[in-house]
Structure 1
Amino acid sequence: MWRFLGGRERLTSRPPEDVLAMRVAGVVVAETLAELRAQIRPGWTTADIDDLAAECIRARGARPSFPDVPGYRHTVCVSVDEEIVHGVPGPRRLGEGDLVSIDCGASVDGWHGDSAMTIVVGGAEHARPGDLALIDACTDALWAGIAAFTPGAHLFDVGEAVESSLEASAAAAGRAPYGILEGYEGHGIGRAMHESPGVPNVAVRGRGPTIKAGSTVAIEPMVTHGTDVGHTLGDGWTVVTTDGSRGVHVEHTVAATPAGPWVLTALDGGRAELGARGVPCGAPA
């Protein structure tokens, strides 16, 4: 998500053949993020991550989506520690324990997929206190939102599920509530990477559009150890927390199907994570 979208009046429903076309782009994004997760090491720069992402996407016959955003020329966003979203790749060198969020988009035949992950550089053994719990809490909230994206439900149910999950995670850990980045949300996706409506990460007034079979969105909570307030740096893109607390960003592109959510940017379509939560997955057999 690049800016607060605000528009909530329309949620496109696509025929099955269009959702299948989006799945092709989603797999490219999933494979690219998997390759990045496997390869990133201490000493890499954020520009190195961008270069590998571009190579992975183009090797699969796809094209990066993010250069379509006016003014942005990179393949991915790489946000480190207090940079919670929209980090611009460059010379910053990564060290063990850095918390790195990578947002990636790709298109195939004009259809887009969009996903984000957060990793600890050097592995879990180098994580700072609380960072793994923050990743887990944000990931659980993402899947709670995905589980709510089913035909007949309403779009704002997604944000309520995300926020409720984060509140439950904080309570279980006996800590203060996590910060949910204010003013940023998910979005519709299809022929354009960013379409209306916006997909909130918090409970909001009203119910929002009815979710129909074939509706497609990107759900993406952005969560911090502390504040819910961020500001944009002088590069015009990178959003950092105002209190310097570290943040996490995770995202998936999801289609609503009569059988359940189909996660287009998960290699297994979401079967494992949804199954673990007792939620039917709409991925084809």
Structure 2
Amino acid sequence: MLTKTEEEISLIAESALLVSKTLAELASIIRPGITTLTLDKYADEYIRDNGATPSFYQFEGFPFHICTSVNSEVVHGFPNDRPLREGDIVSVDVGAYKNGYHGDQAYTFLIGDLSTELLDLVRVTKESLSRGIENAKHGNRTGDIGYAIQSHVDKFGFGIVQDLVGHGLGKELHEKPDVPNFGRRGHGKVLQENMVLAIEPMINLGSPRVYLSKDNWTFLTMDGKPSVHFEQDICVKKGSPIILTDFGIIENAEMANENLNSSYYEKKNSI
């Protein structure tokens, strides 16, 4: 079923919040010199210590517990033993399976000082996600979500990845409907109350074109420029959707970590 019962939504919300807490824990330890393989191990232990299992591990053969995509890697990057460096950005995508339901969330971290252009890309990507979420309400269509994301990103000239999309979420990690980050108002799948969706814009600094690496998992930008990825789980309602994941606890951990760039939040809080 595309729609969920209130009990199912409650269980999905529990998994979704655990994913947010996992990302917040990772935000507290990310720094130059740490490896993404260390982040993978830490996330695996934290998820299991909280009574869940990592959703991604062995999903269609994926060999790690989380996805870590650095700089020009868009999504599905393999954790490895290369230390993160000052100036890197890293998208961390985490899934948790608990009580028969999945949570799924991604967040892009900025290691140290970065260019204004890259900070703008992070800000615009996160803003586009918020605009997409605002349109995830009963009676709208998936095209309304995609249009809201696309119309915001297009104003800044960044590249919207079209080969990869958001999705439904529940007992399966990827359920229908697909949720593209581009589209036309009034087109696509009709949204019904109590659908649960993972909305996840993937926005490139340059060209929207991507390619699949030789590992058959990692997608990279064709022009080698950085990419930013944010994801939230939401429940469609007749009014405003319910956001099941929590960026707030991740942002708080991020701001407390002196190794992460907090310029976006400093600017946001000064407005």
Residue 240, structure 1, aligned to residue 227, structure 2: no
Match of 2:161 in 1: 181
Distance 1:132 1:248, change over 3 A: same
Distance 1:268 1:38, change over 3 A: closer
Match of 1:138 in 2: 125
Please tell me the root mean square deviation across aligned C-alpha atoms, in Å.
1.6
Cα drift, residue 222 of structure 1: 0.4
CA contact (8 A) 2:141 2:185 kept: no
Cα drift, residue 83 of structure 1: 0.7
CA contact (8 A) 2:144 2:186 kept: no
Cα drift, residue 129 of structure 1: 3.6
Query: SS of the residue aligned with 1:119?
Result: strand
Match of 1:277 in 2: none
C-alpha separation between the residues in 1 aligned to 2:76 and 2:247? 24
TM-score of the two chains, using structure 2 as the length reference: 0.88
Cα drift, residue 128 of structure 1: 2.8
Q: Which amino acid aligns with 1:75?
A: H
Query: SS of the residue aligned with 1:70?
Result: helix
Match of 2:67 in 1: 77
Match of 2:141 in 1: 154
C-alpha separation between the residues in 2 aligned to 1:234 and 1:161? 34
CA contact (8 A) 2:162 2:182 kept: no
The 10-residue stretch of structure 1 (219-228 or 128-137) with the greater mean CA deviation from structure 2:
128-137
Cα drift, residue 234 of structure 1: 1.1
Match of 2:261 in 1: none
Count, aligned residues: 249
CA offsets 1:243-282 (integer angstroms, 9 cap, x no match) = 111110100111112342111111679xxxxxxxxxxxxx
C-alpha separation between the residues in 1 aligned to 2:186 and 2:247? 34
C-alpha separation between the residues in 2 aligned to 1:94 and 1:268? 24
Q: Which amino acid aligns with 1:213?
A: E
Match of 1:3 in 2: none
The 10-residue stretch of structure 1 (189-198 or 253-262) with the greater mean CA deviation from structure 2:
253-262
Query: SS of the residue aligned with 2:3?
Result: coil
Residue 91, structure 1, aligned to residue 71, structure 2: no
> Which consecutive aligned stretches of 4+ in structure 1 deviate over 4 angstroms post-superposition?
none
Question: Unaligned regions of 5+ residues in structure 1, if any?
Answer: 1-10, 171-176, 270-285
Match of 1:7 in 2: none
Cα drift, residue 73 of structure 1: 2.0
TM-score of the two chains, using structure 1 as the length reference: 0.84
Alignment of 1:90-129 (within 5 A): 90-122=80-112, 126-129=113-116
